[in-house]
Amino acid sequence: MFNKILIANRGEIAVRIIRTCKRLGIGTVAVYSDADTRSLHMQLADEAVYIGGPHSRDSYLNAEKIISAAVSSGCTALHPGYGFLSESQQFARAVEISGLVFIGPSAQAIALMGDKIAAKELAVRAGLPVIPGHTDALDTVNEALTVAGSIGYPVLLKPAAGGGGKGMRVVFKAEDMEDSLEACRQETSKAFGDSRIFMERYIERPRHVEYQILADSHGNIIHLGERECSIQRRYQKIIEESPSPAVSAELRHSMGRAACNLARIAHYTNAGTIEFILDRSGRFYFLEMNTRLQVEHPVTELVTGLDLVELQLQIAAGKPLPFDQDGVTFRGWAMEARVCAENPARNFIPSTGMITRYAEPKGKGIRVDSGIRTGSKVGVYYDSLLAKTICYGKDRDEARTLLIGALNGYHIEGVTTNIDFVSRILCHPEFANGSLDTDFIDRHFEADQARQAPDPERLRYAALAATLIYHARRLAVRESLQPMVSRIGAKKAVGNVYEYYVRSGDEVLSVELESAPLGRPWTFCIGQHRYIVEPPELEFYRRRLRLRIDGRTHRFRLRVEQFHIFVAFSGIAQVFEIYTPKEWHMMKFMPVRENRHADRTLICPMPGLVVAVLAKKGERVYKGQNLAILESMKMESGVASPLDGVIAEIKMMVGQPVEAGEVLVRFQEQKET
């Protein structure tokens, strides 16, 4: 085994690799950029080497600096993690030339399987079913139109290099082909340095199922079962689980054998993932191979009891796999949610800032792989993934229920996250019964997540928690106790009934609270619904609350600001206002503010880097026309004009970092007629 390795990555995957190395007694060297000077991964490693500026091209994508850091620090091997250079054949080859061991597949295997066209051709040779399509790179729009006509619309344009959904476009009609093809070429050229695009039939509403394989240098190849990764947004996975509710024992055997056959014909070694799609009739097709460890590998670890990083290290050190296919056992069910810094209510735009409060969920069956803690800075330069919450249960429903509860107790302040959006998905009835496909989010959730009506039962539970906190604070003030820890079963509350009005938006709930002697349950009546709550001792710790309601334990995240109490619970994220009956009936509602005429400015919607300015001073532009392209967290987004008008001033330039709320463009004042 190795004495010391360098981890050519950052964030939660670097932390994950460090922890396995510490357990095995292997020294670790982290690399970090200007943006990561306070990062968790560099602080946990035994050593840390500075490699450059915040932009990834100056640091985490600079192969020369990374290899130099590994050599100068006395490492014998290098682990690439995922993302950045993990699937670069040039990097893997350079690592080998430098005398280091690359903890991953060979450069030849990365080149072969990283080229989507070559991989598809190899899959055909290996006897795997593939999606009908055209595997040659498309040269012209006319060629693309001809191929699409022969395949049949809709078609999917895909980059020959790279992955992660970058450069992919679905084309539903011929009129959209030219713009879509050009957009694909630009995006994939920028992301992967390769503008080749190929085409295949777009299979509507498929399931995405992938197989984890391991292959050593002694000819042994096994699979570790499947992962269901159908819950995606913009081709980015959000929730993963193992096993898949759609895969039978027979199908598991067939798909696993196919995955191993492909790895064998590719002369593959180390860990890799063969991705398939399942159509609605249950037929599977080869999609691509990822020549690295996957983000979602923890669900496989929980159901197999194996440490994939440890196995990667053993294989890279030349050791044979310690077991064969029959030695792999599967137990229970695991489910993972990705926690990302993004705002679902604003079309998932990235969120940046300082983590001001941080508390992870804990308990039996709960695992958190995180790259952050209180004080961590989340910037615009890297991926939005902050952490992963993974839960294990004896069956799917237990794992799902535990994951919902864990997310209810996951408290992050300072940046906006997708935690409550992911919880809403987990609570959806079709997710609960396993009816999944890659269009699940588009079909069940609108773009503006904040405006959807919450589930009535979960809303009542959230209102109950808010009322209890408000009531405890009132008692605390009356009894001169600290508001954060209050005995709500004290003598003064015995046998008393309290009434409150709880408002959230347009929804008003009448809540009746009946207290009881210390040690006895309390009763809540919300409308016609009655709830028994225990224990009567309330501890509001780190803005998290745990209550036992009608015999079941529930966790809530709360934030209190005078009369306003924010509650997050199982996908509900509401702000409640609470009043006594006297206060409610004496309220004088303020008149609704009139909408003022909007400023004639374009306001930056999110923090990022300006990568393109698409208009100039004096130009007439129209509402909806993109005036700039911003890059944030490895994603490019257009910034559209809010109105028809003439540009008076442009207050940005290419390469400039901008913050949310900053003025990017001023328009000429509208002349009165």
- Which is it for strands 27-32 and 4-7: parallel, antiparallel or unpaired? parallel
CA atoms within 13 A on the CB side of 51: 32
Q: What is the DSSP letter of 76?
A: S
Q: What is the DSSP letter of 256?
A: H
Instruction: Say which residue the tokens 């039962």 belong to.
Output: 457
Q: What φ, ψ does residue 445 adopt, rounded to 5°? A: -130, 130
**468 to each of 43, 392, 549, 573, 581, how far by Cα in Å?**
40, 31, 12, 17, 16
CA angle (417 as vertex; 15, 579 as ends), nearest 5: 135
Provide the CA 531 distance to its chain's centre, in angstroms: 35
Burial of 165 (0-12, 13-18, 19+ CB in 10 A): middle
Annotated catalytic residue, options 187, 200, 288, 342: 288
The structure tokens listed for 627 are 């005036």
The structure tokens listed for 460 are 């009542």
The structure tokens listed for 550 are 């009608």
Q: Which residues contact 146 (CB under 8 A, 6 or more apart)?
A: none
Q: What is the DSSP letter of 322?
A: S
Distance CA 223, CA 211 (A): 7
Instruction: Say which residue the tokens 């992050």 belong to.
Output: 412
Q: Which residues contact 658 (CB under 8 A, 6 or more apart)?
A: 604, 607, 608, 609, 610, 630, 652, 664
Q: What is the DSSP letter of 642?
A: S
288 is catalytic: yes
- Which is it for strands 47-50 and 155-159: parallel, antiparallel or unpaired? unpaired
The structure tokens listed for 253 are 């055997």
Q: Which among 1, 61, 3, 51 has a CA at the least distance from the CA of 28?
A: 3
Distance CA 347, CA 431 (A): 21
Length of the chain counted residue by residue = 673
Handedness of CA 415, 385, 377, 541 (dihedral sign): positive
- Other C-beta atoms closer than 10 Å to the C-beta of 232 total 19
CA angle (163 as vertex; 148, 53 as ends), nearest 5: 135
Q: Are 580 and 563 a contacting pair, CB within 8 Å?
A: no
Q: Are 52 and 65 a contacting pair, CB within 8 Å?
A: yes
CA angle (74 as vertex; 73, 79 as ends), nearest 5: 85
Amino acid letter, 201: R
Distance CA 495, CA 504 (A): 28
Q: Are 199 and 156 a contacting pair, CB within 8 Å?
A: yes
Catalytic machinery residues? 288
